[in-house]
Amino acid sequence: GAVVSQHPSWVICKSGTSVKIECRSLDFQATTMFWYRQFPKQSLMLMATSNEGSKATYEQGVEKDKFLINHASLTLSTLTVTSAHPEDSSFYICSAADRVPPYEQYFGPGTRLTVT
């Protein structure tokens, strides 16, 4: 089956620093990847849609300058949280969409970010 990895699985950073999270599709190519944020005991909230070779599309209310997304290849998308603050602490999940119908989305295992 299709596998999506995320790295790191858990990261702690100091307030004011930046942290990068990688999302890779291991055995398929993904034109489109998605980034979600999930607070405890809540649903997944879509942050942005990442398309290979073009700028990401951000959902309303998501700061594009704070959450930088790069999708440089068909197997890798990165999310960089810039100038992190404690309120950015959350669980971040990526998914990668297959290129053929029904464009199934496969989810990564998530990254827990803690900003101190």
Per-residue x/- track, 12-51, other proteins (CB under 8 A) = ----------------------x---x---xxx-x--x--
CB-nearer residue toward other proteins: 62 or 107? 107
How many chain residues interact with other proteins (CB under 8 A)? 18
Per-residue x/- track, 88-107, other proteins (CB under 8 A) = ---x-x-x-----xxxxx-x
CB-nearer residue toward other proteins: 20 or 107? 107
3-state secondary structure of 49: strand
Is 11 one of the binding residues for other proteins (CB under 8 A)? no
Per-residue DSSP letters for 58-114? EPTT--TTTEEEEEEETTEEEEEE-S--GGG-EEEEEEEE-SSTT--EEE---EEEE
Count of Cβ atoms closer than 10 Å to residue 39 Cβ: 11
Instruction: Report strand pairing: 4-7 vs 67-73.
Output: unpaired
Residue numbers at the binding site for other proteins (CB under 8 A)? 34, 38, 42-44, 46, 49, 91, 93, 95, 101-105, 107, 109-110
